[in-house]
Amino acid sequence: MTEIISGLLAGLPAFFETNAWVPESVAIATWETIYMVAFSTGISYVFGLPLGVILVTTDEGHILANKGVNQILGSIVNMVRSIPFIIFLILIIPLTRLIVGTPIGTIASIVPLTLAAIPFVARLVETALKEIDRGLIEAAQSMGASAWDIIAKVLIPEAKPSLILGVAITTINLVGYSAMAGIVGGGGLGTLAYYYGYQRYEDVIMWVTVVVLILLVQGVQMLGDGLAARIASKRR
């Protein structure tokens, strides 16, 4: 392994000298990945956060207990989450084409990325909210707080550190999903790695994209950990 890495490093200057297009292509692919992951994460939380709140509050014994709604939504979430992303990506090609006009490209990739992330976000939110001490909820109820007041002033604020970590986890998952989307022309680092690295047998391009993806994941995780720790420390 060490010999392989040493060989790749030794050949980098010559490779980039004869392939001057690579740095620019990596920069563009990195921006495309960040673009579609950021948008997908944002949109998935617009729908996933309320869905997670509903899953928690409609659970048995909670403030809006409704067994029927809870079971139906839970089943839908589990059904979507059970489908591997690469299969899900192909299954919703007609929907993607209907929404954006084409199933190929960075913007088109946002559709399957978002739809796949919504149930994942819902479960993360559900887990974060279920960690809250029920005594806080009961105290709010005893003071006459409405269901909305409990959600907005107790559940969400108390779960903020966990919710922020959930955003980081979702973003990291979507970085991996975006790479899979690249195999079918989704753009970003996945497309660069597959079409210019794997199919053309250019090991350098493959390794460069891997390094960039690792840096993106590490950066997101560090940012999420830092923000969560800062919010948690302010509440002490």
pTM, full prediction: 0.87
For the chain, how many residues are written?
A: 236
Q: Span 198-203, mean pLDDT?
A: 75
Residue 220 CA to residue 108 CA, distance in Å, equals 23
What's the pLDDT tens digit per position in 143-166?
A: 888 889 999 999 999 999 999 999
Q: Span 170-181, mean pLDDT?
A: 91
* DSSP type of residue 146: -
User: Which residue ranges make up each domain of the chain?
Assistant: 2-234
Query: What is residue 13's predicted lDDT score, i.e. its pLDDT?
Result: 56
pLDDT band of residue 234 (cuts 50, 70, 90) is: confident
Question: What CATH number belongs to 2-234?
Answer: 1.10.3720.10
Other beta carbons less than 10 A from residue 188's beta carbon: 27
Q: Which of 145, 162, 187, 172 is nearest to 30 (CA)?
A: 187
Amino acid at 226: G
What's the pLDDT tens digit per position in 131-146?
A: 888 888 888 888 888 8
Residue 200 CA to residue 221 CA, distance in Å, equals 32
What's the pLDDT tens digit per position in 16-43?
A: 555 556 778 888 889 999 999 999 999 9
Averaged confidence pLDDT in the chain = 86
Residue 78 CA to residue 232 CA, distance in Å, equals 31
Query: What is residue 181's predicted lDDT score, i.e. its pLDDT?
Result: 85
Query: What is residue 171's predicted lDDT score, i.e. its pLDDT?
Result: 95
Query: What is residue 14's predicted lDDT score, i.e. its pLDDT?
Result: 54
Q: Which residue has the higher pLDDT, 123 or 8?
A: 123
pLDDT for 185 beyond 60? yes
Query: What is residue 1's predicted lDDT score, i.e. its pLDDT?
Result: 52
The secondary structure of 113-133 as a DSSP string is: HHHHHHHHHHHHHHHHHHTS-
How many Å is the Cα radius of gyration of the chain? 22
* DSSP type of residue 144: T
* DSSP type of residue 65: -
Percent of the chain topping pLDDT 90? 52
Q: Which residues contact 153 (CB under 8 A, 6 or more apart)?
A: 140, 145
Token pair of 166 as six digits: 């959930």
Q: Span 70-79, mean pLDDT?
A: 94
Token pair of 150 as six digits: 């409990």
pLDDT band of residue 7 (cuts 50, 70, 90) is: low
pLDDT band of residue 9 (cuts 50, 70, 90) is: low
- 2-16, 31-45, 180-194, 206-220 — which one is most confidently predicted on average? 31-45
Query: What is residue 18's predicted lDDT score, i.e. its pLDDT?
Result: 55
Percent of the chain topping pLDDT 70? 90
